[in-house]
Amino acid sequence: MSNTTSRAVIDPDDAPEALQPGTRAISAATVRKLWPTEAELFRNHLLRLDKDSRRLRFAHGVSDSFIEDYAARMNDMGSIVFGYFVDGEIRAAAELRKLADDWGVEAEAAFSVERTYQDQGIGSALMGRVIRSARNRGIRLLFMSCLAENAKMQAIARKHEADLRFEYGEVIGEIIPDGPDYFSLLAEAADDRVGYMMAVLDLSSRLVKAA
Ligand SMILES: CC(C)(COP(=O)(O)OP(=O)(O)OC[C@H]1O[C@@H](n2cnc3c(N)ncnc32)[C@H](O)[C@@H]1OP(=O)(O)O)[C@@H](O)C(=O)NCCC(=O)NCCS
């Protein structure tokens, strides 16, 4: 097992292409931002990651209690978390995290897809959402780090025409957006409106199941 990592530089001009779902899996499910009340669903998703996916996600093996603590801090960190929902459960997630108290010029992205949902284009589609949200918040540098052995994550970065740079055992993606434009803002707002409706439906469905 290698501890070496690499660094990727992603061209922000590729973001619109990344927004195209174009896969069977993505069209059969919902991708939307999580509500602050949905940290538990996020936690359940992270707990379902198999041992190797957990290690690739967090760059080392992590315990259940680590994940519980991490998911509980989702709201405190002020992250934007996208969930890939299937039947009300999150099967994949992408996080856009602040590096300071407010959205500054730099942020970090991280991805997790449950084993049985991997290799269906979900991680790529989530990358598109994250890049767009970063652009719309005026982020000038978006980092994505992964282990050097993580060929899938690097393939996604390359698909977005990233320049991969290997540094100190990490692969870090750097996106340098031109800044938000009318279409990127409109697309995120439209997705948020649909996401709001889907979140209400998911909540209703959970309440019915619990009754
Ligand atoms: C890495 C991860 C997010 C990718 O998500 P995914 O939905 O499986 O990936 P996608 O299907 O969107 O794309 C995977 C790409 O890798 C390519 N790929 C798969 N195996 C590969 C390999 N061994 N070598 C090179 N490329 C490979 C696929 O061909 C695909 O590219 P394509 O769409 O151009 O064909 C997901 O596998 C995951 O959650 N892994 C565990 C956690 C993790 O590694 N997180 C990233 C660090 S934050």
Could you give the C-alpha distances from 77 to 74, 83, 101, 108, in angstroms and in order?
Answer: 5, 17, 8, 12
| Distance from Cα 204 to the centre of ligand 1, integer Å | 33
pLDDT tens across 10-65, in order?
Answer: 444 444 343 344 444 444 689 999 998 999 999 999 999 999 999 999 999 999 99
* Residue 5 pLDDT: 44
CATH number, domain at 70? 3.40.630.30
Residue nearest atom 42 of ligand 1, based on CA coordinates: 57
Q: Domain range for residue 49? A: 5-210
Indicate which atom in ligand 1 lies nearest the CA of residue 152.
Answer: 16
* Residue 17 pLDDT: 40
Q: What's the chain's average pLDDT? A: 82
The best mutation among 14, 152, 156 to test binding of ligand 1, ranked by most ligand atoms within 8 Å of the C-beta, falls on 152
**pLDDT of 171 higher than 90:** no
* Residue 177 pLDDT: 58
Domain count for the chain: 1
**pLDDT of 191 higher than 80:** yes
pLDDT tens across 134-169, in order?
Answer: 989 988 888 888 898 999 998 887 777 656 677 777
